[in-house]
């Protein structure tokens, strides 16, 4: 007799099957409303990446090699925070690039010249971003350093961000069956992320700190902001511009508690949700069946005081978990949130 897989294992197997066949989400016909404004696709304009494709990276991953060598940062947990300025290659947008399969149409990591680890890493990051608004992308479950860096580049380029583009990357195992390791690694990274935000908030440059977090990265972000508010106070939180939580993979009860502790800073938060997000459906099954915040009803989320962009009717893909990276209209939600927060998009 063949025994059925336990629920958690079945959910992970199903997730693996879905992940293997999911393609790019088609473009949306129409626009995504964020509760106040309905906009169209993000218009073309110059971004900082057009001038210098450099990504500021803060990470709790273990560096690979000294000097750094590919893949630059592993899935292992490092010793505290590390900082690096990562050189990127931009996609070829010429006519030749669009028709030739031999030319890359995506972002790529070219090199990581050096890595600074230890007590000075957060200050080095703040110095590199000095005088500019910052957009920090915090990735989700099942991401390598390389994939997270490319997502950060796509996000910043997609909204044509004009400040310093950055990535906070934590030690995801980048494997379907390591959901537990990823969640613990994300929570383990809270102190380091808080140190980074404190360094940026204490910088005299005056720039805004905008955060876009995806999936499991939203748990890390909310927990860190709650710590920052409790320990560094309103002065630090005043430097936070927009906080966009895309498809938050957080138990709705935990999400509610975290948001309620944010006080008036809850007004900075925009949630991009979808009730047909298959990845969140499966992570909910893994985590005990409680609905995830990113798949909750719009009314339930709005009652907490956050802005909500409900993308339920706009996803044409199988999983619908990363529309903020693939769809211009959803990217428009991110852009407007940053504009409201006084950031540099």
Q: What residue segments make up the domains of the chain, in order of their start? A: 48-340
Coil vs helix vs strand at 287: coil
> DSSP alpha helices (H): ranges in the chain?
7-21, 48-51, 95-99, 121-128, 145-158, 179-188, 190-202, 217-237, 252-260, 278-286, 298-302, 323-326, 328-340
pLDDT of residue 15: 45
* Tally of CB atoms within 10 A around 345: 24
pLDDT of residue 193: 98
| Residue with the two structure tokens 């902001």 | 225
pLDDT of residue 327: 86
Which tokens belong to 165?
A: 């583009």
pLDDT of residue 293: 94
pLDDT of residue 151: 96
Q: What is the DSSP string of 16-72?
A: HHHHHH--PPPPPSS--B-SS-B--SPPP---HHHH--EEEEEEEEEE-TTTT-TT-
Q: Which of 34, 92, 63, 108 is nearest to 269 (CA)?
A: 34
pLDDT of residue 105: 64
Backbone φ and ψ of 37, nearest 5° = -130, 140
Alpha-carbon separation of residue 222 from 188, 190, 247 (angstroms): 13, 10, 13
Low-confidence ranges of the chain (pLDDT < 70): 1-45, 93-105, 314-320, 345
pLDDT of residue 95: 55
What is the C-alpha separation between 132 and 124, in angstroms, rounded?
Answer: 14
Homologous superfamily in CATH for domain 48-340: Alpha/Beta hydrolase fold, catalytic domain (3.40.50.1820)
| Residue with the two structure tokens 């969640």 | 183
pLDDT of residue 34: 57
């Amino acid at each position: 007799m063949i025994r059925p897989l336990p629920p958690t294992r079945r959910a992970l197997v199903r997730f693996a099957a879905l992940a293997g066949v999911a393609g790019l989400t088609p473009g949306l016909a129409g626009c995504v409303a964020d509760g106040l404004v309905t906009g169209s696709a993000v218009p073309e304009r110059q971004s900082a990446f057009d001038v210098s494709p450099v990504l500021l990276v803060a990470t709790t991953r273990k560096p690979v090699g000294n000097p750094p060598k590919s893949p630059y940062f592993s899935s292992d947990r490092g010793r505290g925070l590390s900082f690096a300025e990562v050189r990127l290659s931009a996609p070829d947008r010429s006519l030749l690039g669009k028709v030739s399969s031999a030319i890359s149409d995506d972002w790529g990591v070219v090199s990581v010249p050096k890595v600074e680890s230890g007590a000075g890493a957060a200050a080095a990051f703040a110095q590199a971003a000095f005088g500019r608004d910052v957009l920090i992308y915090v990735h989700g479950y099942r991401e390598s350093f390389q994939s997270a860096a490319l997502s950060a580049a796509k996000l910043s380029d997609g909204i044509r961000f004009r400040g310093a583009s950055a990535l906070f990357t934590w030690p995801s195992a980048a494997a379907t069956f390591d959901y537990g390791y990823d969640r613990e690694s994300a929570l383990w990274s809270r102190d380091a992320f808080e140190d980074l935000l404190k360094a940026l908030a204490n910088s005299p440059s005056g720039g805004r700190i905008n955060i876009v977090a995806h999936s499991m990265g939203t748990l890390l972000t909310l927990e860190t902001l709650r710590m920052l508010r409790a320990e560094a106070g309103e002065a630090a939180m005043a430097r936070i511009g927009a906080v966009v939580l895309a498809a938050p993979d957080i138990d709705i009860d935990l999400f509610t508690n975290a948001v309620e502790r944010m006080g008036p800073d809850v007004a900075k938060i925009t949630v991009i949700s979808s009730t047909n997000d298959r990845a969140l459906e499966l992570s909910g099954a893994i985590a005990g069946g409680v609905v995830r915040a990113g798949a909750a009803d719009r009314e339930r989320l709005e009652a907490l005081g956050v802005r909500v962009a409900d993308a339920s009717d706009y996803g044409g893909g199988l999983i619908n978990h990363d529309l903020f990276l693939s769809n211009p209209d959803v990217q428009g939600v991110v852009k407007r949130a940053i504009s409201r927060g006084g950031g540099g998009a």
